[in-house]
Amino acid sequence: MSRFKDKVVIITGGGRGIGKVLAKSFAREEALLAICSRTKKQIDEVAEECAKDGHKILSIPCDVSKQDEVEKLVKEVMKEYNRVDILINCAGSFMMSPSLLTDISEINAMYNNNYLGTFLMSQAVGRIMIAQGYGKIINMASLLSFIAFPERASYAASKGAVLQLTRVLGVEWADKGINVNAIAPGMIKIETPHPIDKTEFTSKIEQRVPAKRVGTPNDIVGPIFFLASEDSNYINGQTIVVDGGWLSYGYL
């Protein structure tokens, strides 16, 4: 029997990339799923794909940076399932910009998409989990929560905030039966409007990473499953780096 059979799982950003792969993976584990995204077409397509294999998924449009939409999402999930066992905060966005040219709107977009959405979802679902006395919240940090690249000031700061939020909620809710942890992916090849191609930059990254390759969304599934399972019940406020050894590597 699957360890996630009939577990109620919410995945934000479930319409593409890592979130999409996680949705399909939890569906195969027979979880009771709700996925959200600002783009309804994307999450509907994921739900339809899973339905072909006999898995029902709630697809709910939601901008997680807006509190009213978050509350509506959680209300719909509770109406359908009456509880939430696992929350995976996968929604987010990325941008590059020279710091001297970065506009305040770009800073706000990174803050809202990456940090605020994670906070609002954790807060709304956290209330339910605390009442239940049990729950798993998994956030999506980044390698840039730890290190710096040029022209990523807004993105790196927002992901640094996610790492610190994970620590705070992890220690604040630990005695209430809630585990809050995070995954920090390195470079992951995903389907986006700007996919990772075999450019000079990515070739250098592959040479730099001890595993000699960039990651895939499937590399994230196992660590997520671990943090979502009872195997991680004594882990709180931690961030697992999934980067092929990049962060640990000391050579140029």
Catalytic site positions: 155
> Alpha carbon of 84 to those of 5, 131, 159, 181, 244: distances in Å?
13, 11, 25, 16, 32
> Alpha carbon of 47 to those of 34, 59, 220, 228: distances in Å?
9, 6, 20, 21
Q: Quick count: other Cβ atoms within 10 Å of Cβ 118?
A: 30
Pairing of strands 86-89, 57-61: unpaired
Q: Is 126 left (phi over 0), alpha (psi -120 to 50) or beta?
A: alpha
Pairing of strands 86-89, 8-12: parallel
Residue of 88, 60, 85, 90 lying closest to 75 (CA atoms):
60
